[in-house]
Amino acid sequence: MSDRGTLRIQQISAHPGPVAGEGTQRQDKVCKLIDTTTCIGCKACEVACVEWNDMPFQTTYFDNTYQTMPDTDWNYWNLIKFNEDQHDDGSFAWLMRKHQCMHCEDPGCLRACPADGAIVQYSNGIVDFQQENCIGCQFCVSGCPFNIPKFNPNTKKVYKCTLCSDRVGAGLEPACIKACPTGCLHFGTKEDMKFMAENRATQLREVSGFQNAGVYDPDTIGGTHVIYVLHDATKPERYGNLPAKPRIPLSFTVWKDIFKPIGLFGAMLGFVGVVMHYVFEGPRREQPTPPVVRIDPPPPPAGKEN
Amino acid sequence: MTNGWIDIKNTDMMLIMGGNPAENHPCGFKWAVEAKLKRNAKMIVVDPRFTRTASQADQFLQIRAGADIAFLGGLINYAIENNRVAKEYLVNYTNAAFIIKEGFKLPEDGLFSGFDAATKSYNKSSWNYQEGGNETGKAVATPPMGVAGDIPGGAAPGSIGSVKQSQPQGSAPAGEHGSVTGHGAEGQGYQAQGPAGAKAMGGGPIPPPSLPPNIAYDLSLQHPRCVYQLLRQQYSRYTPEMVSRITGIPQDQLLKAYDLFTSVRINGDMKKVATIIYAVGWTQHSFGTQIIRTAAMVQLLMGNVGRAGGGVNALRGHSNIQGATDMAGIFDILPGYLKVPSPTDQDLKTYLDRITPTPAKPNEWQSFNYWSNTPKFMVSFLKAMYGNAATKDNDFAFNYLPKVDRNYSWVNIWNDMYEGTVKGFFAFGMNGVMIGPDSQKNIDALKKADFLVVCEIYPDETSAFWQAPGITPDDMKQINTTVYRLPGAGFAEKDGTFVNSARWLQWKHVALPPPGDCRLDQDILAQIFLKIRELYQKEGGKFPDPILKASWAYTLPEHPSLSEIAKEINGKALADISDEKSGVSLKAGQQLPGFAMLRDDGTTSSGNWLYCGSWTEAGAMMQRRGTEDPSGLGIYPNWGWSWPANRRVLYNRASCDLAGKPWDPTRSQVWWNETAQKWVGNDIPDFKPDSKPEEHMGPFIMNPEGVGRIFVPLGAMADGPFPEFYEPIESPIDNPLHPNQSSNPVVKKFKTAMDKYGTVKEGYNIICTTYRLTEHYHYWTKNNPMNVELVPEPFVEIPAELADQMGIRGGEKVKVTSARSDYIAKAMVTKRIKPMMVDGKKLYQIGMPIHWGFLGISESEGRTSKMPANRLTPTIIDPNAYTPEFKGFLVKLEKV
């Protein structure tokens, strides 16, 4: 299915008019499933991400952990978070969670973005940054409940996981999925992935003794296009600050849903005011012409002909 | 591996110990995950640290490094006492029923019978079976030590005349030994015995004892000296209390794990299967081979060998270590695990008589004794080596082969270099300074050599040993070693095969040509060889024939192609030959279809009998890429080619009951077809194809007994026919089983000034171990920015509790000191290593990855101490495989 038609735009940041092509074709929602219970933290996904996206290497520093770096970066979109999880009853777990953009159904970054076309959500659910339209305001950074978008101070643009929209558009799975050796990563339709995830969670509950096993697909942001199977879905925070109820910051909800329409209304009022002014006050009166100063161009340098 | 990577998916139970496959074999580990997902298989992980593998376990046990035999001995004890053994299998497929000679003594005091303290070695003549045939029911009433066997009725055998057979598994069959030892390991004791241990070769003038032809046995397993009763007695000392004291594992956890693992054999039900998976965490001890033996015994006792999802599975440490071992990357074997000749082998006949076993079994049983074909393998090998110069009249040029007079294992070679007797060294595909124990000793050894040749793809520490930290420009002037660096080719720059842990030969193609002046390894070796031959031609020399007459019939002698060599290894007919039984006829020059066609009269050649069948007239079997798997068992019969004879699970006859029906019909590998009167199946039967079940031929065809060896007779093992727990050479406690014989009695310490061994009294009170990381590949990837980004610097993992006591915070530098040297790196303070109670003492373990040296990206940026981790490790080796004890030595820890 190498059909670029699989990538159709559903929403565009700060875009006033209709979204081109929207609704012309039924689109499957895609989804990445991460089964943290079979992740061995091998970092093949990290390497695949760096290499597929041709990202420059950076210097890292030992930080008392197996984790490659403290957080994702503008050139490091995929990071396994390692968590030593000691419980009072003496039980212990070493939790590993692949951390990257969750591709929210209701993306906080997109809501926050004021730049026309800098963030798009395709109708398959992938949220993608278009750096050529990015104005570097970093509103998306504060709009994200997962702390994903990262600013590159040199280019003054923000970057994040694209869910390999380039590969998915060509009918391929994301690079991380391809690289995963244990099969803890899966990619497919949201419906299928949800089904697989729930099955695995059931197995964990009924066979492996993880009574709180479950699927992480938070409805506070309309669900995500990256979902997790967790040994303990009641405490996602154990997995390196995965929020139990991620929310888009209120300011951005207020901005987009209240102030932005109000602002637009205000702008319209302003326009109406201008029109009214024209109607009632008439056109601009003629102003005196400023004096004109002529400057002669310098003569061309000798011997140069182009 | 007795089984294979994909086969792990067929298991119901995994014991992963002495290995960290999620870390070091992440791609293969997918099959362990598959077993969990698809079969609800359980996973028990036993390791000194909570590892990446442990993160996937149903139960994790933190064990003191080096206490593995105690843990496994306790498991044997538990299985026996709780009747979780495979009775029919045990009686018929193992030597459990065989009676051992009078005079054999178990090591209650730490020593088996026959120990000679002066030479630190055993006279093994009492480690043998008794002669005499069927003794069933004739046993004296009370077995010694009050351990009356209660195996109900000797299980199935019924009438004696229809007794069954069994064969050795996992343990010591030479053909498989390679998969049992770890990388850098040697084969069995080089002067120990013939391939299958049939006859000990003393090396002296007195003919060594041999196995009796008609072994005495007791099918009721009641005889006090039958193997089963001795086994029971041996491990009755390994009580949960004792094992807990030794290993540091709390008793409740221990019993839970024993119960879980043996739950596949509740009341002897044979449906389920358990596998044991290990790697160099088991081999790298001064008793490493015996740990693996213990695992093999567990699997025999529980009837797990030969079965899909079962077996004893060594995960090899590099992509082609299995191939290196098969092709004699070890001093005491020839390709195909034929024994290297010794100086007493004056001619081919003497040699073949010594190493070719004769059947040794109860008269009523059959034994295929496959090593009886040794002369065919050997003569074909000599024909491959010396071509037309090998004739019947000159013993097929047998005397061109070097005779090995002593131990030339890796550690011994470097020790000899240190002592000045080895004058030059060729290092291909290995960074000697880094991989051996006691790096400083290795560096000092190279200082004394006349020359060193290194073929590598990066400048490595070995070729730069004279630049090691601490060597001043003035010191350098004193070093007279001439170093030659040869630019080799990386794995993707040459074709050829990798042989994986599952014994699969898989061909790879060239991805890109070697850059610049780099050359293919085979070209470099060929050109060196041809140059040496030229010198011999010109100057003669003491014994030029082996060089001058070696077969070198390649199309381009200076650039032998690996496909040509692969065909040569497979072998061909040298005359028109035919096999009456199979009806196969070959014309001279045709590739052989398999090792059944090999001849001992010089009409066939084969560079390695085990690989015979890998490149036939039908083409390169090793290049096949068929993805069909009709049985769904992961056999993939048309993918690549696995030795022997493309069978994927060794000893698979044992997957069936005595009548030839699979123990579990849902995992049918092979079975007896009554109509066709032969063994058939999804896999290739590892058995004599027409041997009827009534004949009672043992499934373990590589042993002269035909059965699996729970007790290893005679000279196969240097340190005992049963494994006994011994402390590592550097140990924090005296052995609780026998304090006066704490460590392995046959292990000899090295004697140079560099060889120091630490004790708790001297302040070395912390147990240390070494390992690798997923993110790095040995000492290569420190040159690769991506890998360095993933893990930039060396570190030392320290239990949080110990760090708190010492005031060490994560990221601070610590110094680790052993009796040899010291090592400085940053501390990784972790809750993944806990303090443990060992023999009533609170002990701590620390560990460190080995990947950094003094050349590399972080090293040149000054971000490391430029110290190889192996500065700390002791020069001490396992007496059977000669693998160094990299795991479990003593250190001191301090803040820098």
Asked which of B109-118, B191-200, B639-648 is least confident by mean pLDDT, the reply is B191-200
According to DSSP, residue B250 is labeled -
Does A187 lie in the same domain as A48? yes
Q: Is the dihedral of CA B794, B798, B804, B806 positive or negative?
A: negative
Q: How far apart are CA A68 and CA B809, in angstroms?
A: 19
Chain A residues near residue B830 by CB distance under 8 angstroms: 84
Taking phi over 0 as left and psi of -120 to 50 as alpha, with beta for the rest, B239 belongs to beta
Give tens-digit pLDDT for B614-672: 999 999 999 999 999 999 999 999 999 999 999 999 999 999 999 999 999 999 999 99
Chain A residues near residue B23 by CB distance under 8 angstroms: 40, 42
Give me the residue from A41, A47, A84 closest to B786, CB to CB.
Answer: A47
Assess whether pLDDT exceeds 70 at residue B179. no
Q: How far apart are CA B639 and CA B629, in angstroms?
A: 9
Helix (H) or strand (E) holding B455: strand B451-456
- Residue A2's pLDDT band, with cuts at 50, 70 and 90, is very low
pLDDT of res. B187: 34
For residues B455 and B521, the answer to whether their CB atoms sit within 8 Å is: yes
Q: Supply B315's token pair.
A: 């995960």
Assess whether pLDDT exceeds 50 at residue B684. yes
Give me the residue from B53, B786, B793 closest to A57, CB to CB.
Answer: B786
pLDDT of res. A286: 75
Please count the other Cβ atoms lying within 10 Å of the Cβ belonging to residue B388.
12
A289 domain-assigned: no
What percent of chain B lies above the pLDDT cut of 90? 90
Q: How far apart are CA B286 and CA B869, in angstroms?
A: 19
Residue of B789, B836, B858 best to disrupt the A interface, most CBs of A under 10 A? B789
Mean confidence (pLDDT) of chain A:
89
Instruction: Residue B748: name the closest of B869, B885, B889, B891 by CA.
Output: B885
Q: Do A92 and B774 touch (CB under 8 A)?
A: no
For chain B, give every residue range classified as CATH 3.40.228.10. Answer: 6-317+701-716
Residue of A33, A34, A42 best to disrupt the B interface, most CBs of B under 10 A? A42
Using CA coordinates, name the residue in chain B closest to A86.
B831
pLDDT of res. B269: 96
Q: Do B785 and A57 touch (CB under 8 A)?
A: yes
Q: Supply B241's token pair.
A: 């209390």
pTM of the model as a whole? 0.91
Q: How far apart are CA A139 and CA A118, in angstroms?
A: 11
Q: How far apart are CA B433 and CA B854, in angstroms?
A: 11
Instruction: Residue B766: name the closest of B895, B896, B892 by CA.
Output: B892
pLDDT of res. A18: 74
Q: Do A64 and B828 touch (CB under 8 A)?
A: yes
Mean confidence (pLDDT) of chain B:
92
Q: How far apart are CA B801 and CA B62, in angstroms?
A: 15
ipTM score of complex: 0.90
**Any CB–CB contact under 8 A between B612 and chain A?**
no
Asked which of A265-269, B597-601, B690-694 is least confident by mean pLDDT, the reply is A265-269
Q: Supply A120's token pair.
A: 């798009």
Assess whether pLDDT exceeds 70 at residue B700. yes
Does A113 lie in the same domain as A9? yes
Q: Do B26 and A181 touch (CB under 8 A)?
A: yes
Instruction: Residue A131: name the closest of A119, A149, A143 by CA.
Output: A119
What percent of chain A lies above the pLDDT cut of 90? 70
Give the phi and the psi of residue B612 in degrees, each rounded to 5: -70, 120
Parallel, antiparallel or unpaired: strands B13-17 and B274-278: parallel
- Residue A277's pLDDT band, with cuts at 50, 70 and 90, is confident
Assess whether pLDDT exceeds 60 at residue A234. yes
> Residues B191, B197, B200, CA angle at the centre, nearest 5°?
50
Q: How far apart are CA B432 and CA B442, in angstroms?
A: 8
Question: Cα torsion at B79, B81, B86, B90 (round to 10°)?
Answer: 110
Task: Outline where DSSP puts E strands in B687-811.
Answer: 766-771, 795-799
For residues B614 and B505, the answer to whether their CB atoms sit within 8 Å is: yes
pLDDT of res. A19: 73
Task: Outline where DSSP puts E strands in B222-381.
Answer: 274-278, 312-314, 333-334, 338-339
Residue of B62, B253, B790 best to disrupt the A interface, most CBs of A under 10 A? B790
Please count the other Cβ atoms lying within 10 Å of the Cβ belonging to residue B627.
8
SS3 B275: strand
Q: Do B790 and A68 touch (CB under 8 A)?
A: yes
Q: How far apart are CA A131 and CA A156, in angstroms?
A: 9
- Mean pLDDT over B166-192 rounds to 36
Choice between B184 and B569, residue whose per-residue pLDDT is larger: B569
Residue of A55, A57, A62, A96 best to disrupt the B interface, most CBs of B under 10 A? A62
pLDDT of res. B530: 98
Q: Do B30 and A62 touch (CB under 8 A)?
A: no
Does A128 lie in the same domain as A16? yes
pLDDT of res. A276: 86
Q: How far apart are CA A209 and CA B568, in angstroms?
A: 55
Give tens-digit pLDDT for A48-93: 999 999 999 999 999 999 999 999 999 999 999 999 999 999 899 9
For chain B, give every residue range classified as CATH 2.40.40.20. Answer: 739-895
Assess whether pLDDT exceeds 70 at residue A305. no
For residues B13 and B273, the answer to whether their CB atoms sit within 8 Å is: yes
pLDDT of res. B445: 97
- Mean pLDDT over B561-576 rounds to 98
Q: Do A41 and B33 touch (CB under 8 A)?
A: no
B295 CA to centre of own chain: 12
Using CA coordinates, name the residue in chain B closest to A180.
B27
According to DSSP, residue B485 is labeled E
Contacts of B549 (CB under 8 A, 6+ apart): B386, B387, B389, B397, B400
pLDDT of res. A63: 95
- Mean pLDDT over B544-554 rounds to 97
Q: Smallest CA–CA separation between B821 and chain A, in Å?
A: 24
A293 domain-assigned: no
Q: Smallest CA–CA separation between B66 and chain A, in Å?
A: 23
- Mean pLDDT over B561-584 rounds to 95
Q: Is the dihedral of CA B228, B233, B234, B239 positive or negative?
A: positive
Q: Which residues of A touch B (CB under 8 A)?
A: 37-38, 40-44, 46-47, 50-51, 57-66, 68, 84, 86, 92-96, 181-184, 200, 203, 207-209
Burial of B725 (0-12, 13-18, 19+ CB in 10 A): buried
Give me the residue from B36, B790, B792 closest to A61, CB to CB.
Answer: B792
State which CATH number among 3.30.1490.20, 3.40.228.10, 3.40.50.300, 3.10.640.10 fits the domain covering B6-317+701-716: 3.40.228.10
For residues B772 and B778, the answer to whether their CB atoms sit within 8 Å is: yes
Assess whether pLDDT exceeds 60 at residue B173. no
Assess whether pLDDT exceeds 60 at residue B327. yes
Does A140 lie in the same domain as A255? no
- Mean pLDDT over B859-881 rounds to 96
pLDDT of res. A16: 76
SS3 B761: coil
Task: Please tell me the total number of residues recorded for chain B in this structure.
Answer: 896
Chain B residues near residue A68 by CB distance under 8 angstroms: 789-791
- Residue B175's pLDDT band, with cuts at 50, 70 and 90, is very low
A135 domain-assigned: yes
Give tens-digit pLDDT for A132-172: 999 999 999 999 999 999 999 999 999 999 999 999 988 89
Parallel, antiparallel or unpaired: strands A214-216 and A79-86: unpaired
A303 domain-assigned: no
SS3 B134: strand
pLDDT of res. B197: 38
Choice between A270 and A86, residue whose per-residue pLDDT is larger: A86
- Residue A297's pLDDT band, with cuts at 50, 70 and 90, is low
Does A56 lie in the same domain as A193? yes
Q: How far apart are CA B379 and CA B398, in angstroms?
A: 9
Chain A residues near residue B41 by CB distance under 8 angstroms: none
Helix (H) or strand (E) holding B376: helix B374-386
Q: Supply B251's token pair.
A: 């008793």
The CATH number covering residue A173 comes to 3.30.70.20
pLDDT of res. A27: 66
Give me the residue from B26, B36, B829 closest to A40, CB to CB.
Answer: B26
Place of tokens 């023999």: B839
Choice between A227 and A13, residue whose per-residue pLDDT is larger: A227
Does A229 lie in the same domain as A209? yes
Q: Smallest CA–CA separation between A68 and chain B, in Å?
A: 5
Assess whether pLDDT exceeds 80 at residue A195. yes
Assess whether pLDDT exceeds 60 at residue B17. yes
Assess whether pLDDT exceeds 90 at residue B188. no
Residue of A55, A64, A210 best to disrupt the B interface, most CBs of B under 10 A? A64
Assess whether pLDDT exceeds 90 at residue B376. yes
> Residues A197, A202, A204, CA angle at the centre, nearest 5°?
95
pLDDT of res. B148: 41
Give me the residue from B789, B792, B830 closest to A62, CB to CB.
Answer: B792
Domain ranges, residue A265: 249-283
Give the phi and the psi of residue A125 in degrees, each rounded to 5: 105, -15
Chains A, B: CB pairs < 8 Å: 98
pLDDT of res. B661: 98
Does A266 lie in the same domain as A229? no
A10 domain-assigned: yes
pLDDT of res. A285: 73
**Any CB–CB contact under 8 A between B36 and chain A?**
yes
Q: Do A94 and B811 touch (CB under 8 A)?
A: no
State which CATH number among 3.40.50.970, 3.30.1490.190, 3.30.450.20, 2.40.40.20 fits the domain covering B739-895: 2.40.40.20
DSSP B154-211: GSTT-SGGG-------SSS-HHHHTTTS-TT---S-TTTBSTTSSBB--SSSSPPPB-
Assess whether pLDDT exceeds 90 at residue A304. no
Assess whether pLDDT exceeds 70 at residue B176. no
Q: Do B37 and A203 touch (CB under 8 A)?
A: yes
Does A59 lie in the same domain as A196? yes
Q: Chain B, 51-70: which have a CB under 8 Å from a chain A CB? A: 52-56, 58
Asked which of A203-217, A249-263, B79-93, B339-353 is least confident by mean pLDDT, the reply is A249-263
Does A183 lie in the same domain as A134? yes
Q: How far apart are CA B434 and CA B777, in angstroms?
A: 13
Q: Do A208 and B53 touch (CB under 8 A)?
A: no
Give tens-digit pLDDT for A28-51: 899 999 999 999 999 999 999 999
Does A258 lie in the same domain as A167? no
HEC secondary structure over chain A = CCCHHHCCEEEECCCCCCCCCCCCCCCCCEEEEEEHHHCCCCCHHHHHHHHHCCCCCCCCCCCCCCCCCCCCECCECCEEEEEEEECCCCCEEEEEEEECCCCECCCHHHHHCCCCCCEEEECCCCEEECHHHCCCCCHHHHHCCCCCCEEECCCCEEECCCCCHHHHHCCCCCHHHHHCCCCCEEEEEHHHHHHHHHHHHHHHHHCCCCCCCEEECCHHHCCECEEEEECCCCCHHHHCCCCCCCCCCHHHHHHHHHHHHHHHHHHHHHHHHHHHHHHHHCCCCCCCCCCCCCCCCCCCCCCCCC
Largest CA distance in chain B: 82
Assess whether pLDDT exceeds 70 at residue A5. no
B78 CA to centre of own chain: 26
Does A213 lie in the same domain as A125? yes
Assess whether pLDDT exceeds 50 at residue B517. yes
Give me the residue from B34, B53, B826 closest to A62, CB to CB.
Answer: B826
Q: Do A208 and B58 touch (CB under 8 A)?
A: yes
- Residue B582's pLDDT band, with cuts at 50, 70 and 90, is confident
Q: Is the dihedral of CA B443, B444, B445, B447 positive or negative?
A: positive
SS3 B819: coil
pLDDT of res. B174: 35
Assess whether pLDDT exceeds 60 at residue B581. yes
pLDDT of res. B678: 97
Number of domains present in the structure of chain A: 2
What percent of chain B lies above the pLDDT cut of 70? 92
Taking phi over 0 as left and psi of -120 to 50 as alpha, with beta for the rest, A257 belongs to alpha
Rg, chain B, Cα only? 27
Assess whether pLDDT exceeds 70 at residue A306. no
Does A197 lie in the same domain as A172? yes
The answer to whether the peptide bond before residue B644 is cis (omega within 30 degrees of 0) is yes
Angle between helices B68-81 and B251-262 (to 10 degrees): 60
pLDDT of res. A21: 59
Q: Do B33 and A182 touch (CB under 8 A)?
A: yes
pLDDT of res. A8: 74
Assess whether pLDDT exceeds 90 at residue B151. no
Question: Cα torsion at A98, A100, A102, A108 (round to 10°)?
Answer: 150
- Residue B399's pLDDT band, with cuts at 50, 70 and 90, is very high
Give tens-digit pLDDT for B209-255: 799 999 999 999 999 999 999 999 999 999 999 999 999 999 999 99
Chain B residues near residue A47 by CB distance under 8 angstroms: 786, 790
Give tens-digit pLDDT for B775-812: 999 999 999 999 999 999 999 999 999 999 999 999 99
pLDDT of res. A25: 55
Give me the residue from B40, B792, B832 closest to A60, CB to CB.
Answer: B792
A292 domain-assigned: no
For residues B197 and B127, the answer to whether their CB atoms sit within 8 Å is: no
**Any CB–CB contact under 8 A between B785 and chain A?**
yes
Assess whether pLDDT exceeds 80 at residue B276. yes
Give tens-digit pLDDT for A92-131: 999 999 999 999 999 999 999 999 999 999 999 999 999 9
